[in-house]
Amino acid sequence: MANPMPAFKGSVCDSCDSQIDEGDDVYFSDAGKLCSECANDGGYACECGNFKKPGFDFCYDCNKLI
């Protein structure tokens, strides 16, 4: 499964309970489904937009470029 992936209609962020618009990025993490803002705040989004684990500076793809 790609992470992030486009949200389905009716998706709700498990962190802030806000509606995620259909087609917007949704991040799947140990904390649940996250909107882009909560993923950034929680350290789950790389600066390129891909998923990364908190505690790492970059996602897998960006880390390979270093």
Beta strands in 1-66 (DSSP E): 5-6, 11-12, 19-20, 25-29, 32-34
pLDDT of res. 2: 82
Encode pLDDT of 21-63 as tens digits: 999 999 999 889 999 999 999 999 999 999 999 999 999 999 8
Residue type, 18: S
Q: Distance (Å, rounded) from C-alpha 43 to C-alpha 4?
A: 13
Closest CA to 47 of 35, 63, 28: 63
